[in-house]
Chains A and B, each alone.
Chain A
Amino acid sequence: MGLWRYAARRLVQIAGLFYVILTVLFIVFRLAPGDPVERMVDPSMDPEDAEVLMAQLGLDRPVGVQYLYYLKNFVSGDMGISFHYGEPVAEIIADRLPNTVLLFTSSTILAAVVGVLLGKRASWSKGRSTDTVLTFSALATHTVFLPWLALLLIWLFAYRLGWFPITGMVSEDVWLDPGATWWTRAVDVAHHMVLPLASLFLIQFGTFLLVMRSSMLETLKEDYILTARAKGLPERVIRNHHAAPNAALPVLTTIGLSLAFSINGGAITETVFTWPGIGRELVLAVSQNDYPLAQASFLLIAAVVLLANLVVDLLYAVLDPRIRY
């Protein structure tokens, strides 16, 4: 089977799976405890007002009818109106998603690059102090409690040293200044991004380092590495040209999925750093039973993860000549 036929077959499978996810999400949110209206009412309102609110949110209809509307809206590209914002869900996601992608994709790429390089180095120095230090650092930062790390970074670098803003994505001094250029604003966002990026990097890079190290150690046992050594090739060439490319294949899966999940953001990071991304919105939407926003966010994540899996599989075939579909 050719690569394109394989891709087409997988796309059909993905479409089927996506429909299942679409339906499961609908059912899960209707079964989940909580009432979207209860947090919108106060004791000065009559119970009838709550019923009116239910009707406005479309929740007075039978569940089957709600489901049909849900499917119809999805097919027509309408993700509904957020219960709490009163805005189209698509606009809320379009507003928040770029912020999340900027932060989390940057951190994933940075962590992947550094993790792979250091993992390569650690495996090459197996048993020596470099390996011990790198492996220990990876394990330590990978297992650290994220909110604690984030608050520690804020306290040290923002509060004590004053090098970075405490939270947020932009500074009002810059963005309210009519004379500010796009460059000033870009720098301002970069400035705000340093601490959340650092905390995400510290949490993530250990994963890539450990995967790369372990993959490299396996690869170094292969016969072609022995052959390369027997040919008298320099260690640097063996490491970088013979071992690393083959060892990087498992890392590719980790990177692909990490990038896919990066659109999910991270509720903790976004909350502690008040980063206006999709992760925090998703958590709020779930906790406040904002069905349209929560469903659309999860659907987006599902779509990206499914497609990322397909891309990784196709990349395998491109990068490894032994793999053919």
Chain B
Amino acid sequence: MAAILGRVRFAWLVPMVLAVLGTAGPSSHAADLLKVGLPDEPKTLNVFRASGRWSGRVLALMYQPLLVRDPETLELIPWLAAEMPVYDPEAVTYTVRLREANWSDGSPVTAGDVAFTGRVIREFKVPKYYSKWKFVTRIDTPDDRTVVFHLSGPKAVFLSRTLATPIVPAKEWTRAVEAARKKEKPLRSLMNHRPKTLLSSGPFVLKEWRKGAYLYLVRNDRFFGRGQEIAGRTLGPHIDGILLKFFGTSDAAILALKKGTIDMFWWGIQPGYIEDLERDPNIQLYRCERSALYYMGFNLRKPPFDDVAFRRAVATLVDKQFIIRRILQGMGEEMDTVVPPGNQLWCCPDPRTYGKGLGRADRVRAAYRLLKEAGYSWDVPPVNDRGEVVKGRGIRYPDGRPMQPWTILTPPTDYDPLRAMSGTIIQGWLQDLGIPASARPMAFSALLQQVKTRRDFDAFILAYGSLSLDPDYLRSFFHSDNDKPRGWNMSGYVNPEYDRLAEAAASTIDTQERRRLVWQMQRIVAEDVPYLPLYNPTLVEAVRKGRFGGWVKTLGGIGNLWSFCELKPL
């Protein structure tokens, strides 16, 4: 009896469990909905605040710029603009004609929206965009589809950066902007504004954002590109929408992909997962080049890094191919210059290289020779009298002082195991030569603060995961004006000739001439080695087979505007 009563007592659990299990099946109405896994959630959809990768990627599907990059040639092409801007060198103006486009509510995208965007950025000095707009002195709108930008002088980045700014709808933002103007801190008010709805000029429009769970975008039927041929591609979107789901770990996201819960994981697959995914008949892997720079930087403000011979010796010792083979498991390419090889327009083809193709012993001999010629000495030289490579010890500066121990700061293994391991390997190579270097993993925020803000370091290994395709960052990284706290010239590189070239390149409109200058800048950097470029990891992305076709491979992967405009359900 007691047993029967016990069963009856818990009988209510049966329908509950059945109901719970009943929700486990796949959706019946998701045929044309692309489900994408993200490793993190966007922090905000306020375009003036958004600084994170995920906010930017989501907003890029809604707010469109005037120009974008062709996915194959990487050349700038008109997008919201009807044609390429017309430059008037006399007046230093660019005239842009807009194509016929509408916001998702049916109202037209006008020159007023473009001017409003630029004026807000300039008036409020919006940090994310201000450097791209500060040289725009005036914006005229002679009619609803024409914008004239007046510049303080010729600027090479105007097309690639200023006109790549997402255009916001004036009518949606006017009230927030006016309210912000009345506040004690207008910029803070603008950046903390939370738009309730988002009008879209792009291929998708926000339907629902359930914080912590998913973000749902539906097709924007008023997207100007729909059915149009742009860059030789007939655009859609042909899918009903995109559902972005958030995953706390790559393990869970990859299981969800294998299970079919998501159609794509919008994040690079780590080398350890690739073999397993390659064996899965339902998974397709795409390998793309990245616009990334993984590099070792030196503090040129202090010895021994203030000596170019020492930096070249370090560059000679570092076997990039070994790092790519052993640490990246072959998933990367060697970098000889700070511009990624995939950026064919700007990557210098003939920078100086160090120790290329040499074995370990020959690298040690070459580095030893460089240092010896520069006056360095050893208690125990790394190459003995018979020319054999031995463990070096007690390196001394040309003036006879012993070299003090120094550190290579790297991110910790839980943040980036590849960079942490690279640091350890480079440390070993340096120690073989008798150089007292040691790798020290450090919390990423602390590392950035130490290197960029405090400038209290010896050497470091850092990376730019997604460099802009415009090479203006060469000016940021190495111009002497940027050698200041928070400046991007973290190495403290000072070279007047380089500064002159960088300034000339920044104001050169002619692409061929600018390329010549940019290549020359790269050659100088390769000679002086303030940064030692290491590698550019291959981006491997995974999608489900048999769900959607039409992924567009470009520099930076298949998760791009073009793919989402061209994907078709299979």
B173 CB → nearest A CB, Å: 15
A84 to B46, CA, bound (A): 11
Q: What separation, in Å, do the CA atoms of A52 and B49 have in the docked complex?
A: 13
B252 touches A276 (CB 8 A): no
Is A162 within 8 A of B259, CB to CB? Answer: yes
Interface size class of A (residues with CB under 8 A): 35 or more
Q: Is B21 an interface residue (CB 8 A)?
A: yes
- Is the beta-carbon distance between B46 and A86 smaller than 8 angstroms? yes
Give the Cβ gap from B222 to chain A, nearest Cβ, in Å: 22
Pick from B24, B208, B210, B445: contact of A38, CB below 8 A.
B445
**B302 near A: Cβ within 8 Å?**
no
B473 touches A44 (CB 8 A): yes
Contact B448 A34 (CB under 8 A): yes
Residues of A within 8 A of B448 (CB): 34-35, 38-39
Q: How far is the CB of A57 from chain B (nearest CB, A)?
A: 8
The docked-state distance in angstroms from the alpha carbon of A37 to that of B453 is 10
Give the Cβ gap from B116 to chain A, nearest Cβ, in Å: 21
* Residues in B157-176 with C-beta less than 8 Å from chain A: 157, 161
Q: Which residues of A contact B192 (CB under 8 A)?
A: 81, 86-87
Main secondary structure of the interface of B (DSSP, over half): mixed
B 245-260 contacts with A by CB, 8 A: 245-249, 251-252, 255-256, 258-259
Stretch at the interface among B373-381, B424-432, B483-491: B483-491
Q: How far is the CA of A184 from the CA of B445 in the complex (A)?
A: 43
The residues of B that contact A4 with a CB separation of less than 8 Å are: none
For residue A222, CB closer than 8 A to chain B, the reply is no
Chain A window 89-104, contacts with chain B (Cβ cutoff 8 Å), 1 for yes, 0 for no: 0000001100100000
Given contacts A52-B127, A172-B216, A276-B213, contact A35 B472 (CB under 8 A): no
- Known contacts: A85-B43, A166-B256, A167-B247. The answer to whether A44 contacts B468 by CB under 8 A is yes
Q: What chain A residues lie within 8 Å of B482 (beta carbons)?
A: 47
The interface-forming segment of B183-191, B516-524, B545-553 is B183-191
The interface residues of chain A lying within 8 Å CB-to-CB of B49 are 86
With contacts A87-B194, A188-B23 taken as known, whether A95 is within 8 angstroms of B445 at the C-beta atoms is no
Nearest B residue to A54 via CB reads B486
Contact call A49/B473, Cβ cutoff below 8 A = no
Q: Is the CB of A170 within 8 A of B213?
A: yes
Are B30 and A194 in contact, CB atoms less than 8 angstroms apart?
no
Q: Mark A193-216, 1 if CB is under 8 A from B, else 0.
A: 010000000000000000000000
- In the complex, whether A191 has a CB less than 8 A from a CB of chain B is yes
Please tell me if the beta carbons of A172 and B213 are within 8 angstroms of each other in the complex: yes
**Known: A35-B449, A164-B24, A191-B20. Is A45-B248 also a contact (CB below 8 A)?**
no
Residue pairs across A and B with Cβ atoms less than 8 A apart, 26 shown, are A33-B443, A35-B453, A38-B453, A39-B51, A41-B51, A46-B130, A47-B485, A50-B486, A84-B43, A99-B212, A154-B255, A155-B255, A159-B258, A165-B24, A166-B255, A167-B252, A168-B213, A170-B213, A170-B214, A184-B23, A190-B16, A191-B21, A191-B24, A272-B249, A287-B445, A288-B445
Q: Interface residues, chain A, CB within 8 Å of chain B?
A: 33-35, 37-47, 49-53, 56, 81, 84-87, 95-96, 99, 151, 154-155, 158-159, 162-176, 184, 187-188, 190-191, 194, 270-276, 280, 287-289
